[in-house]
Amino acid sequence: MNAGVVVIGAGMGGLACATLLAARGERVTVIEKDSWVGGKARRVSLDGAEIDGGPTVFTLRDVFDGIFRAAGAELDDYVTTRRAGVLARHAWDDSAYLDLHADPQRSEEAIGDFAGAEAAAGFRAFRQEARSIYASLNDTMMRAPKPATPLSLVWRMGLSNVAGFMGTHPYVSLWNALGKHFGDQRLRQLFARYSTYCGSSPFNAPATLMLIAHVEAMGVWLIDGGMAALAKALQDLSKSQGATYRLGTAVERIDVTGGRASGVILANGERIAADAVIANADPAAIASGLFGQNASRAVSQFGTSKRSLSAFVWYAKARAQSFPLVRHNVFFSPDYPREFLDIAAGTPPSDPTAYVCALDRDPGRGEAPGRTERFQIIVNAPANGDNHCYTPEEIDQCTKAMMRSLTRCGLKLDDPFTHEVATPNTFEKLWPSTGGALYGRASHGWAASFRRQGTLTKIPGLYCAGGSTHPGAGVPMAALSGQLAAARVLQDLASMRKSHPVVMGGGMSTPSAQTGSTG
């Protein structure tokens, strides 16, 4: 009797993987230490209101359409979505703001009005280059198993397509590449910010990340209930296919027998046997021994200097004045290089860029915000939550710095500013061994994509999925990692079962005599 598959972690990668495996008839058990599904796509309760606690931008909808259809369903049967007309509103001071639109022609016109005809032409060329990079890497890198080397990527793209590989600009920083298109430093700063979508500095990240601009241009959607509703939809879909969930249950270690992952040991000592184990967790947590010393050798460790960004995040209720907010708003630092130098030095930026998600702004439904609105506000920070304890005074300084950024651009959030704030310490506690890094390994340097953990590990039967693995950070990328993991597990299980008709007995869950933490 097949023991089935265990998925550790109900983040987006784990949910996608569980759905696809269950739809193919595999017995799937998802073990999640927290009481919710979605991982970082959680909700925070504040004074009777539910506020999105993690990602708020939904792109690459086709990834999720494909997952739902693979299980015989439609995404729209589970969640209500609307395409956003305005992608984001951007401000540098209180004199003007710039909108990027779902319609690229409107964006080009807005940029021309904001910064002149030369800037509009630069945007047009930039948009074409971003589209070209996306087209080169979409099938060969983003939706395919991680290539081992640049040469293997060129092979996948076609041996004659070396020029296509070089056209993805892996050896040029995003900041430098944008200087070719935008003489206006505000626009350079705007499009450089896309590197922070995967927790990286635009001064160190490769220009390849320009493809994120094309991803947004392909469509940004609003979801009723936010990303948490999407996570719940995936849970419901996978359960309809037979997947089982055990929430509030911690995995003490991954059981390794005969050099192969053979199941998991829970914190209560229970053993769940498995033909395959998928860790929807940051590889740093595996490498640190969080799932047992035997499993720690499955992935490579990397130094804390390689971590992606963390953040200060305010979950707030307030009344907004003066600035005409839309759903997604960005208020830029006047000194962008200094912002990332501060973070590299291990301190929150003294004059930060602030992202403001106004959760009650939804012009597509004709809704106006009430007197008091819900906000999620994000400022980038160093991932030092495991070696620095932020004091109340430091948190207050960060709050004041964030407020100065908003005020400089004309937004006033009236007192009382009811809020809770998450720090790198908060995220380290939620996801240990990361320092609060929200995106795994930073995408710095030309080789970053090749050094990111892939689906396969050094231990047979143990696989990785999630936003910290290939193809990268973000909701759709995490789901793609789940797709890749599911495909590889199905392939390996088919081969193994063909060679060994009886893999292991004992059923899905059996008591274990081993309850220690050194397995």
- How many Å apart are CA 92 and CA 389, to the nearest integer? 31
Look at residue 170 in the predicted model and tell me its pLDDT: 62
* Residue-by-residue DSSP string for 313-373: EEEEEE-EESS---SEEEE--S-HHHHHHHHHTTS--SS--EEEEETT-BGGGTBPP-SSE
Look at residue 497 in the predicted model and tell me its pLDDT: 75
* Residue-by-residue DSSP string for 82-94: EE-SEEEEEESSS
Q: Is the pLDDT of residue 152 over 70?
A: no
Partner residues linked to 45 by β-bridges: 50
Look at residue 162 in the predicted model and tell me its pLDDT: 44
Q: Could you read off the pLDDT of 267-307 as tens digits, one per residue? A: 999 999 999 999 999 999 999 999 999 999 999 888 788 99
- How many Å apart are CA 404 and CA 354, to the nearest integer? 10
Look at residue 368 in the predicted model and tell me its pLDDT: 63
Look at residue 158 in the predicted model and tell me its pLDDT: 57
Q: Is the pLDDT of residue 453 over 80?
A: yes
3-state SS assignment for residue 101: strand
User: Average of pLDDT values for 164-191?
Assistant: 83
Look at residue 153 in the predicted model and tell me its pLDDT: 42
Look at residue 156 in the predicted model and tell me its pLDDT: 54
Look at residue 243 in the predicted model and tell me its pLDDT: 98
Look at residue 505 in the predicted model and tell me its pLDDT: 31
User: Average of pLDDT values for 431-451?
Assistant: 87
5-46+226-303+441-511 homologous superfamily: FAD/NAD(P)-binding domain (3.50.50.60)
Please list, in sequence order, all residues whose beta carbon lies within 8 angstroms of the beta carbon of residue 250, skipping any fewer than 6 positions away: 31, 33, 266, 267
Q: Is the pLDDT of residue 502 over 50?
A: no
Look at residue 441 in the predicted model and tell me its pLDDT: 92
Look at residue 432 in the predicted model and tell me its pLDDT: 95
User: Average of pLDDT values for 305-322?
Assistant: 94
* Residue-by-residue DSSP string for 195-256: GGGGT--TTTSBGGGGHHHHHHHT--EEETTHHHHHHHHHHHHHHHTT-EEEET--EEEEEE
- How many Å apart are CA 269 and CA 163, to the nearest integer? 55
Percentage of residues in the chain having pLDDT higher than 90: 79
Q: Could you read off the pLDDT of 392-432 as tens digits, one per residue? A: 999 999 999 999 999 999 999 987 789 999 999 999 999 99
The rounded mean pLDDT for the chain is: 89
Q: Could you read off the pLDDT of 326-347 as tens digits, one per residue? A: 999 999 999 999 999 999 999 9
Banded model confidence at residue 36, pLDDT cuts 50, 70, 90: very high
470 alpha carbon, distance to own chain's centre = 11
Which of 144-158, 270-284, 296-310, 432-446 ranks highest by mean pLDDT?
270-284
Q: Is the pLDDT of residue 499 over 90?
A: no
* Domain boundary assignment for the chain: 5-46+226-303+441-511, 107-146+161-184+200-218, 309-430
Look at residue 504 in the predicted model and tell me its pLDDT: 34
